[in-house]
Amino acid sequence: MIGYQHGGVGEILNELFPEGKVEMGDTKSIIRLINQWAASDLAPTPSKETPFTLQSMLESTLQAYM
């Protein structure tokens, strides 16, 4: 996964897959990563289980308003 280092996507990438984050609007880095990963025999994969389950996100949102 490749995404911008911005908002929720940036937070999730920081936690789970920092290799896939690029600065906002940096399309050259996106193209570079796609080409690099396509040329590789081993595509990078996230190494952790996600803490961003629906249940944990709902609980966090509700806590923000209580």
> How do residues 12-42 score in pLDDT, each as one tens digit?
899 889 999 999 999 999 999 999 999 987 7
3 state SS of 13: helix
Tell whether the model's pLDDT for residue 49 goes beyond 90: no
pTM attached to this predicted model:
0.68
Q: What's the rounded mean pLDDT across residues 42-48? A: 76
Q: Which two tokens stand for residue 10?
A: 């940036």
Q: What pLDDT is recorded for position 44?
A: 81
